[in-house]
Amino acid sequence: MKRLFALLSTTCLALFLLVACGGQEKAPEVTKPSAQPAPAAAPAASPGKTGKVTETMNAAGYTYVQVDTGKEKFWAAAPQVQVKVGDSVAVPEGMPMPNYESKTLGRKFDLVYFVPSLLVNGAAPAGAAGPAGVAGAMPEGHPPTTGMPGGMPGMSGGTGAPKVAAPADINLSGIKKADQTVADIFAQKAALAGKPVKIRGKVVKFSPEIMGKNWLHVQDGSGKDGTNDLTVNTSAVAKVGDTVVVTGKLTVAKDFGYGYQYDVIIEDAQVAKE
């Protein structure tokens, strides 16, 4: 009986102490691991902005402007237009290119937005057709395509691709076939993807220093609209009218983003003039 009384007394004391201390013990605090910082997101295409030009320069047929909106400063580049420090400009949506280096200017920019045109002092947009001959052609250092924010040199056989016509003074007849013709490349693209190809043709368009490469449009008189013009990038230099032999691996459905692709393209090609 005494043992039972002692047990009950101990139990009651424990219950009293539990109630006196707030009715329950606090669970030990668990230190949550600190959240890891999220990786920096890629810059988004810039919305249209207006501001004053604080610095400007021309290079390789393009105009670079530093624009002060009153809240920020940023760089934009467009096909060449007359503009001076102090002018008011409207800059449309463009494609951001971080860590962009202009070899022509010998200058590196932290970030440049490439745009199809600049509206200067309220005038009609200028520079919509760049030196590459395509609406909104982009400056050096950019992958060639069209229709993207800022536009770029034309694609062959890609979404929204312009038709690249050979200049009237270039004769495409009688060009001797190499391993393939341009039309063969398009017709056999599935079988030729990733394999070396070799064509002979004439340069109908040349765009230098885009993404560190020179870009050629080559035709040989074969094919129809959409299958008669082959885009090539290379470190070699050529000029419109040159007869060239192009060798390299064929890339199919090359996607440069923004929904624009090349059906076929020869990248890092070897180009020999004849």
Going from the N-terminus, what domains does the chain have, and what CATH number goes with each? 44-153 (2.40.50), 182-273 (2.40.50.140)
Looking at residue 26, what is its pLDDT? 39
Give the separation between CA 88 and CA 68, rounded to whole angstroms. 10
Looking at residue 259, what is its pLDDT? 45
Give the separation between CA 121 and CA 114, rounded to whole angstroms. 19
Looking at residue 90, what is its pLDDT? 86
List all residues 6 or more positions away from 82 whose beta carbon is below 8 Å from its beta carbon.
120, 126
- Encode pLDDT of 252-262 as tens digits: 988 754 444 68
Looking at residue 20, what is its pLDDT? 38
Residues of the chain under the 70 pLDDT cut = 1-48, 123-163, 209-212, 256-261
Looking at residue 140, what is its pLDDT? 54
List all residues 6 or more positions away from 218 whose beta carbon is below 8 Å from its beta carbon.
182, 199, 201, 202, 203, 204, 229, 230, 231, 232, 244, 246
Residue 91's nearest CA partner among 130, 149, 143, 139 is 149
pTM for the model: 0.50
Residue 20 vs residues 13, 14, 192, 265: alpha-carbon distances, Å? 10, 10, 84, 81
